[in-house]
Amino acid sequence: MGMHKKKTIHSVMFHVGACLLGFVMIYPLLWLLASSFKSNDTMFLNPYSLIPEVWDAAKNYASGLEGVGGVPFWRFLLNSFEVTIVGMVGCVLSSLFAAYAFARIRFRFGNFWFGCVMMTMMIPAQVMVVPQYIILKKLNLIDTKVALVLPWVFGGAFFIFLMVQFFQGIPRELDEAAEIDGCGRISTLFRILVPVVQPAIITSSIFAFYWIWQDFFQPLIFISSPENFTIPLALNMYLDPDSYNNYGGLFAMSVISLIPIIIFFIIFQRYLVEGIAMDGIKG
């Protein structure tokens, strides 16, 4: 009896603590959502409150959607989707090809090239941004969406690493049998292997989506005209106190910028949690 009671108390304490921590973790998000509903005049009356005293959601969202610098917000949204989807698809495909090559094909300097992959994982991309900027400028690609996609479409070290590990867990007999049956490399990869490495592909796609969607550093440097802005750049411009002090609109657009990420997360949560456990990729 005593043992049982102790266990219940333990369990209650656990849930109280876990809920408290959960509230703290999620509070900034709830705060953002609540603030996007508050009217500009009452925004800073009780800033910590999650319940708007004066609701002004429609005005906030409408004024946010008007955009900044003469460019409507949907333009930024479209740019972001364009860059993210092209970048993500290219990134995952290139990484898949590279991982397949590293895991299955013997070629000269294979280890050397894999070492190069690992090197690009250790060196922060920011370090390369000045020379990249100069190259893109020479190619007349500065201030185009191509510049935003280029760093991603050729694959990423994290994804190659993740997929190589996955390929190595698949018995070689599987693709050897396919090759004996007369499948070429490409069709072996897509017909036989892709279904098996699907979890790694999905995990990579999700992370690529997040990273490209939230990428701020490269757009900040490569893009200058507002009609090419992605959402992070647009939000940064909303924040500029000289050009804007409509907090309601700023918070409303911040909420919108997070929605695709949250939806993606809800749909693919299972893969994410497994993917992280599998490889330890940082989210």
Q: Which of 274, 257, 252 is nearest to 39 (CA)?
A: 252
Does residue 46 belong to the site contacting another protein (CB under 8 A)?
Answer: yes
Binding mask 221-260 for another protein (x = CB under 8 A): x---------xx--xx--x-------x--xx--xx-xx--
* Binding span for another protein by CB under 8 A among 60-68, 102-110, 171-179, 197-205: 102-110
- Out of 100, 166, 229, 271, the only residue in the binding site for another protein (CB under 8 A) is 100
Q: Binding to another protein by residue 94, rule CB under 8 A?
A: yes
For residue 131, give the nearest of 159, 151, 155, 153 by alpha carbon: 151
Q: Do 91 and 209 form a contact (C-beta atoms < 8 A)?
A: no
DSSP code of 53?
Answer: S
Closest CA relative to residue 254, chosen from 266, 239, 243, 241: 239
**Considering the rule CB under 8 A, would residue 268 count as an interface residue with another protein?**
no
Restricting to residues 117-176, name those near another protein by CB under 8 A.
117, 120, 122-135, 150-151, 153-155, 160
As given in the structure block, the two tokens for residue 3 are: 């043992």
| C-beta separation of 218 from 158 below 8 A | no
Chosen residue from 54, 62, 116, 267 binding another protein by CB under 8 A: 116
- Tell me the two tokens of residue 72: 């409507």
CB 55 within 8 A of CB 37: yes
Stretch that binds another protein, among 79-87, 93-101, 164-172, 190-198 (CB under 8 A): 93-101
190 contacts another protein (rule: CB under 8 A): no
* Interaction of residue 282 with another protein, rule CB under 8 A: yes
Position 68 contacts another protein (CB under 8 A) = no
Written as six digits, the tokens of 270 are: 């299972």
Q: Which is nearer to another protein, 82 or 132 (CB)?
A: 132
